[in-house]
Structure 1
């Protein structure tokens, strides 16, 4: 099984993507689920969340 391929590289974050990230993180969603919902890589989501003080819960 291959990884998901993302066509976008180094694209600036839009306000609706940031809002969706905050909403899903607030609902306790995991990194993978959030990344798929906004069509961003997990690494991109993790970096953006860290820079903006958004806590993403780790799924067990």
Structure 2
């Protein structure tokens, strides 16, 4: 059985925040961004909020 390495409670790296900003700027949805970053939707939404970014499609 393959196991995914979870990034549970791991700090965000600058390159991850840059990718978050890029994807959010392109109008990508929350699920799509979270999957691309291998993060939960909740973590992705919180990071965007903390860094003043807006995700246009929250679902």
Instruction: Calculate the TM-score normalised by the size of structure 2.
Output: 0.85
Structure 2 regions of 5+ residues with no counterpart?
A: none
Aligned position for 2:9: 10
1:8 deviation in Å?
Answer: 2.1
Q: Give the number of aligned pairs.
A: 56
1:51 aligned onto 2:42: no
Give the TM-score, by structure 1 length: 0.84
Q: Which runs of 4+ in 1 moved over 4 A?
A: none
Ranges in structure 1 where 5+ consecutive residues have no aligned partner: none
Over aligned residue pairs, what C-alpha RMSD do you find? Answer: 1.8
